[in-house]
Amino acid sequence: MNPCGEIAGVGTAGFGIGGPANFGPHVMPATYSVALMSGDRTLDTKRMKVIMDPAVKLADVDRRRYDVIVMDLHDAQRAGMQAAAKLSAMYPQMTAAATKMKNASNAPAALKSQFDALTKQFDAVRVKFGVPAAPAGRGGGGGGGRGGANPDDVLAQLSALKVGVGAMWESPTAATVRQAAAAKLAVQQAVTEANAFLSKAAALSDALKTQDITLSIPPASK
């Protein structure tokens, strides 16, 4: 049973919706009330008892520590996937804008310089989210164990780590705790960089309109 499925329509780091990287930890053993919903209306409810696999020898305190690690990775991944979706939306726009700016012979030098800096900022951050995603079967900017994964794609690395940790079912080691903390921090920093790019793009958008360049910029994450 898993209550933490990802937001529909957002997939990145080499994993589609419903893939193993897009789910949080399993619920703790207990009795739950499960509801069948239609919109905001409850159609039916049932009681469901979830028990631990008796073959898994994991003390309650260790299970809770394990769940905290996986949930932290899941929350960081959720924020990273949202940032990735915004950068993915910007990729074709930035590509088209670069072509227009290159051909804009009357564009002020200062504006070209600002746009070049914006492009460099975008290129530096987008790779951390696997944007653009590689075509199916090609490898590259995604990850989770695929051949040719981009070592700069911190979101893919976190996603792969979450899958690995989620499959362990054993007391978290000190090394696992350190790896999870480092992966979480890397994605959080990348999200901050993505937000900085989006804010800078928004500030420059009015000036770009003078060159017939319109950018539809998603809001930065809160």
Task: Read off the pLDDT of residues 38-88 as tens digits, 9 standing for 90 and up.
Answer: 988 999 999 988 777 676 666 667 777 888 888 999 999 999 999 999 999
User: What is the pLDDT, as a whole number, of residue 22?
Assistant: 59
Domains in the chain: boundaries:
20-211
- When pLDDT is averaged across residues 135-155 and rounded to a whole number, the result is 57
Q: Calculate mean pLDDT across residues 13-22.
A: 43
pLDDT of 137 > 50? The answer is no
Provide mean pLDDT across the span 3-16.
Answer: 37
Q: What percent of the chain has pLDDT over 70?
A: 75
* Of residues 86, 72, 178, 185, the one with CA closest to residue 129: 86
What is the rounded average pLDDT for all residues in the chain? 81
Q: At residue 8, does pLDDT exceed 70?
A: no
Q: Is the pLDDT of residue 6 over 70?
A: no
Is residue 77 within 8 Å of residue 7, measured between CB atoms? no
56-65 CB burial, b ≥16 within 10 A, e <16: eebeeeebee
Quote the pLDDT of residue 148.
53
CA–CA gap between residue 5 and residue 117 (Å, rounded): 37
The Cα 5–Cα 21 span in angstroms is: 10
Amino acid at 117: A
Region 95-124: what's the mean pLDDT?
94
Q: Which residues pair with 36 in a beta bridge?
A: 44
Neighbours of 20 (CB within 10 A): 13
Range name among 48-52, 54-58, 104-108, 171-175 with the lowest pLDDT average: 54-58
Pick from 181, 182, 180: nearest CA to 168: 180
